Amino acid sequence: MPELDTVRAARQPAISSLLSLAASGHGTVLSLKFPYQTQPLPRPGTSAMDAALNRVDKVLDAVLGTVDILVIGNEPFLETRDQDRATLLNPFYEAVAAHVITERERRRGGGRRTRLYMGALNHLEHPDWRTPAVDAWLAHVKATPEIEGVDIHPHVAAIEHASAYTEYVLPRIRAEQRFLATEFSLVQWWKQHWSDPVPAIYADQYGVARGTPVWQEVRDAAATPVTEQRWRDLLTHTTWFASRTRYLTNQVTRFRATGRLAVATYGTLQQPAMVRDLGPAKTPWLLNSLYTNLVVQPSADGRMAHNPAYFDAFRALQDGS
């Protein structure tokens, strides 16, 4: 959101991309990210709150009635200072939600086709993240008729941990409300094994020293992209990765089985931040992405290589299979 102080909303990269995709007939979801990790959230009724709502209005001018779903918040409990989560967080986001609801009604017309969700909740597999502030967040969602549900981001170490999200959230909102999963992955599982050695069969085949940690091999690939076959061999011979190749299918199946999934989306491209300062402490987000555009050489015709575990599953899920 702070980018909108210097960039027109319609030209802000995320908004511009979604508007273009919407014009092409794609479904679109836009989340409003309020980064307050280093400063207090504004209090309703203050000039700082007015400034935040002015940014919101700029977004609404650009997307209302075009974007299918607007998520009020991105990861509020991560993007807020620890000391503000129990005090300032809910009043701020409730004020933003009330403002968006009022503006959507005032503008009427096609703006009503943009559905509203609150988002997104993290780490609910850990009991200490199921706080009174989270309960208050869900109580607000439940009590506000114009809000259609809540977003969740289950980045977990095991598929069973994601069930903690739906089991906690769904009983606390209205029966007709639904949930989004605009981010989800097994990144915590990857992180547990990030320093494991590359498979011996891979090391011998490609002349890599046995015992080389996976993160180091990935770092080298990010510096000098490898062939698609070499990347595929690395992952398919790595037991902790290869044993999870049905994760995407299984996770979406579980989401759908609740009967209350609205939309699930999954990460597409590897981003530069994923390979910046890559080392043993780096969270391996790049292992999630459907395309391996930063670690694998493109084909002769420019085609980007695919994640060998999830790309085909992702395509199949588009058909409901």
Range scoring the smallest mean pLDDT among 99-113, 128-142, 148-162: 99-113
The tens digit of pLDDT for each residue in 53-67 reads 999 999 999 999 999
Measured CA to CA, the distance from residue 19 to residue 288 in angstroms comes to 25
Give the residue-averaged pLDDT of 238-250. 97
Q: How far apart are the first and last CA of the chain?
A: 37
Give the residue-averaged pLDDT of 262-283. 97
Q: Reply yes or no on whether the pLDDT at 42 is more than 90.
A: yes
CATH level 3 topology of 2-184: TIM Barrel (3.20.20)
Find, among 277, 307, 271, 309, the residue nearest to 292 by Cα.
307
Average pLDDT, the chain: 96
Give the residue-averaged pLDDT of 197-202. 98
* φ/ψ (deg, to 5) at 162: -65, -25
Report which residue type is found at 2: P
Find, among 144, 129, 118, 156, the residue nearest to 255 by Cα.
156
Measured CA to CA, the distance from residue 193 to residue 197 in angstroms comes to 9
Find, among 149, 71, 56, the residue nearest to 102 by Cα.
56
Q: Reply yes or no on whether the pLDDT at 79 is more than 60.
A: yes
C-alpha to C-alpha distances, 312 to 132, 232, 233, 284, 319, nearest whole angstrom? 41, 14, 17, 21, 12
Which band of pLDDT confidence, cut at 50, 70 and 90, is reported for residue 321? low
Give SS3 for 93: helix
Which band of pLDDT confidence, cut at 50, 70 and 90, is reported for residue 319? confident
User: In the Cβ-directed half-sphere of 57, how many Cα atoms lie within 13 Å?
Assistant: 11
User: Cβ(252)–Cβ(229) under 8 Å?
Assistant: no
Token pair belonging to 135: 């309960």
Please tell me the predicted confidence (pLDDT) of residue 111: 72
Please tell me the predicted confidence (pLDDT) of residue 300: 87
Which band of pLDDT confidence, cut at 50, 70 and 90, is reported for residue 81? very high
